[in-house]
Amino acid sequence: MDQKKLLKFILVAMVSGILIGWLFHSHLSTTQAENIASYFKILTDVFLRLIKMIIAPLVFATIVSGLISMGKSSSLGSITLKAMSWFIGASLISLLLGMSMANLLQPGAGMNLPIPTAPVDVGISATSLNIQAFITHIFPKSFAEAMANNEILQILIFSIFFGSALAYVHHQQDESTVIAKIIDELCRVMFRITDYVMMFSPIAVFSAIASAITLKGPQIIIDYSVFIGSFYVSLFILWAVIITVGYIFLKKDVFRLLKTVREPVVLGFATASSESAYPKLIVALEKFGVPKRITSFVLPLGYSFNLDGSMIYMSFAVLFIAQAYNIDLSISQQILILLTLMITSKGIAGVSRASLVVIAATLTMFKLPEAGILLILAVDHFLDMGRTATNIIGNSVATAVIAKTEGHKVEEGEIVLVQPLTPSEQTNSL
């Protein structure tokens, strides 16, 4: 399917989903609405399962293929250092911005909720969120298990070992190895399968939106308008910051980048799933001109460490809950919460409803009412749409900037090698 047509179908599906969901919510009883929403959810779940089906082999094939193209190059260490420096800096800025905007806009002020005296079951498990467990978890004990569970970081670790060894063997010979050819063909096959799966995306988008509106109704957006509006204002400011930093490195090309990745951004926004946008994002970045060796390595890493939208949401939501219960947090307490979120959020890759899990853990740690999670749970889907789109934009800009600093100038339709920035030039650019 033509990419422009697919984007139009997705936008039409979003509008149709809102209208149909509104119609069902207005004319059906609560029980009937729940039944209808469950049928809509089947289509969304099928699409997301198809996406999960292709993510693991796609990540493995693209990372190994990229490492083969690097050969014996020492650029892997350079790319990793730049990527992690960017991700940590972006996470800190996102958390600080979320905290600052929550203090400025005070979205929870005036709710004056009484602090619950009895424990409330919020349905969110917040156990085992610590840095020790995270570090141990990223190293796979079984590659098959990592593939089966879509553990992106574990797949990344094995792929680095496998790809580096294969690149060594590949460049010891005069001609391409059989395995290298198989990996290259696997990439092509997986991208073709991706095209097949993406043809189903407009139906999944329609189902996701219709299901949410059928259950909640448009009224819930009005009821939470201050909270939702304040959060989206914060997101737009974060977008401006990300794009501005991208402009420093990419100049006007940053706007061409945004245009190139608009389809995966819209798809991620509509489905509230970063995974659904991953295959298309790889294609979009390579179309923009980012080398496959960089895209295939930085993107999987970014999907685990560079969650700008999730970061700003977590700090914003924690302060919103504190304000709703009239709990005054000092600056020192807020800084401690920020540092806690900075660490615990790095261990949530692959965790279902990861942002809510971290928020629940943070509420418990700082003795804030756990029932506060119920306040944001009602509208979490609509907030998840925005933070997912932000995560995708953040990873797109990060990948393009790292490619530029590695010595690749992006031109329309081709890559032109240029001299990489010197350390002093990179410092001056920042």
CB 13 within 8 A of CB 202: yes
Q: pLDDT at position 40, please?
A: 86
CA distances from 85 to 3, 33, 88, 306, 421 (A): 33, 47, 5, 10, 16
Q: pLDDT at position 63, please?
A: 80
Q: Report pLDDT digits (tens) over 86-97.
A: 999 999 999 999
Burial label for 323, CB within 10 Å (0-12, 13-18, 19+), is buried
Q: Report pLDDT digits (tens) over 328-356.
A: 988 988 998 888 888 766 655 445 466 77
Average pLDDT along the chain: 81
Q: For residues 68-93, give the mean pLDDT.
A: 81
Taking Cα atoms as reference points, which of 58, 65, 12 lies closest to residue 277?
58
Longest dimension (CA), the chain: 74
Percent of the chain with pLDDT over 90: 24
Q: Which of the pair, 393 or 108, is modelled with greater confidence?
A: 393
Q: pLDDT at position 58, please?
A: 83
Q: Which of the pair, 409 or 312, is modelled with greater confidence?
A: 312
Q: pLDDT at position 148, please?
A: 85
Q: pLDDT at position 424, please?
A: 41
The pLDDT-based confidence of 202 (bands split at 50, 70, 90) is confident
pLDDT at 384 over 50: yes
SS (H, E, C) the chain: CCHHHHHHHHHHHHHHHHHHHHHHHHHCCHHHHHHHHHHHHHHHHHHHHHHHHHHHHHHHHHHHHHHHHHCCCCHHHHHHHHHHHHHHHHHHHHHHHHHHHHHHHCCCCCCCCCCCCCCCCCCCCCCCCCHHHHHHHCCCCCHHHHHHCCCHHHHHHHHHHHHHHHHHHHHHCCCCCHHHHHHHHHHHHHHHHHHHHHCCHHHHHHHHHHHHHHHHCCHHHHHCHHHHHHHHHHHHHHHHHHHHHHHHHHCCHHHHHHHHCHHHHHHHHHHCCHHHHHHHHHHHHHHHCCCHHHHHHHHHHHHHHCCHHHHHHHHHHHHHHHHHCCCCCCHHHHHHHHHHHHHHHHHCCCCCCHHHHHHHHHHHHCCCCCCHHHHHHCCHHHHHHHHHHHHHHHHHHHHHHHHHHCCEEEECCEEEECCCCCHHHHHHHC
CB 377: neighbour CB atoms within 10 A?
Answer: 16
Q: Which residues pair with 416 in a beta bridge?
A: 409
pLDDT at 121 over 60: no
Q: What are phi and psi of 408, to 5 degrees?
A: -120, 120
Q: For residues 351-364, give the mean pLDDT.
A: 72
Least confident of 129-143, 321-335, 348-362, 374-388: 348-362
pLDDT at 18 over 90: no
Taking Cα atoms as reference points, which of 338, 386, 324, 389 lies closest to residue 366?
338
Q: pLDDT at position 252, please?
A: 93
pLDDT at 425 over 80: no
Taking Cα atoms as reference points, which of 226, 269, 253 lies closest to residue 389?
269
Q: pLDDT at position 421, please?
A: 42
β-pairing, 414-417 vs 408-411, is: antiparallel
**For the whole model, what pTM was predicted?**
0.75
Which amino acid, 303? Y
Q: pLDDT at position 74, please?
A: 59
Taking Cα atoms as reference points, which of 274, 361, 281, 373 lies closest to residue 321?
373
Counting every residue, how long is the chain?
430
pLDDT at 387 over 60: yes
